[in-house]
Amino acid sequence: MSLHVELTLRAERDVDEILDFRSERSPQGAATWLARLEEVLADQSGNAL
């Protein structure tokens, strides 16, 4: 059984703001952060209780 994880519009805006902030300081850091977020969300989708 898998769980469907969907971000709310507010969460999507928050992610965009975080990426903008991080990208200004470290584009590679922003890419790494986003990749890890996607990894965690995918992991949660595959690990339903």
Tokens of residue 24, six digits? 């200004």
Confidence band of 48 (pLDDT split at 50, 70, 90): low
Q: Rounded to two decimals, what is the model's pTM?
A: 0.79
Distance CA 49, CA 47 (A): 6
Give the pLDDT confidence of 19-35 residue by residue, as tens digits: 999 999 999 999 999 99
State the pLDDT at residue 17: 98
The residue written with tokens 């595959």 in the block is 46
Contacts of 29 (CB under 8 A, 6+ apart): 22
